[in-house]
Amino acid sequence: MTLARISAVLVCAACIALLAFLPAKAEKRVIIRRDTERTVSSLAYPQFGHVRLDAALAFFAAQELERRTQDIEREFDQAALGRSKLASLAGSYALFRPSPQAVSVLFELHATSPRWPAPRRYFSTRSYRLPTGEELTLAGLFESLPDALKILARKCSPKLLAQIMEYDTQERIETAWFLRSRLIMPGHPMPDGADIAEFSKHGGDAPAMRLLEGVVRGTRPEEENFKHFVLTAKGVRIQFEPLQLGGPEAGAPHVDLSLQELQQAKPHMHLWGK
């Protein structure tokens, strides 16, 4: 190979490396807004100077803002029109850059309305392979999605339940009786209907039951339950929406899982630069 060809190869490799690292250096923050008779809403999203990636993020942000806004507006009847705005929605984002091979974006939206007893929180995520800008799905992180879902369900359930138990309210204390005896201990299966009925007989009230059933339902080994994921430097973070886990009492918990915890699912290690 001639010196000129070697130089050309090195220059090409350097350009590819630069393209891969581009999103890791800086991003431009863009805000889109939507103003209707009933709501005012906005959502910030990043742009990196990568044509395919930027187009995908811009399209998703516009769709997400439209979808969330429409969902909120459906709650208000026509009689409410003509008054001041009935709800506001504002969204921001956080970036995760586990390696030059991937980037993840976590969107968080806060919705408020004088008609609601408390604000609402919504989450969504997007992950991309670099330097191609191709979207990464959960199936793209592991060799076997069914195996990965089983592991995610087994790991996330006790971690979520432990978070709920950290609160010292009577509701959490009642919940803790069942959770400690049935779910937190290694080797115990997910609760079935009989277990939940037993918990109810031992003093589980309606809010506690809703939380318990929400965690059980929201961590079943189904792809929909773990769709809000981001790649972190150490592994994967699963973000859960409050309504997914039974209501606002669940908070907005997330679960961080290390690559070691996910080892049996055979994650594609190159996405973490390993």
The whole-angstrom separation of Cα 25 and Cα 4 is: 31
Tell me: pLDDT of 5 over 60: no
* DSSP label at residue 27: -
Write the pLDDT tens digit of every residue in 102-148.
Answer: 999 999 999 999 888 888 899 999 999 999 999 999 999 999 999 99
Write the pLDDT tens digit of every residue in 120-131.
Answer: 899 999 999 999
What are the extents of the domains in the chain?
17-136, 140-272
Write the pLDDT tens digit of every residue in 9-38.
Answer: 444 444 444 444 444 457 899 999 999 888
Calculate ∠ Cα 147-151-154, nearest 5°: 140
Residue 10 CB partners (closer than 8 Å, separation 6+): none
CATH class in words for 17-136:
alpha beta
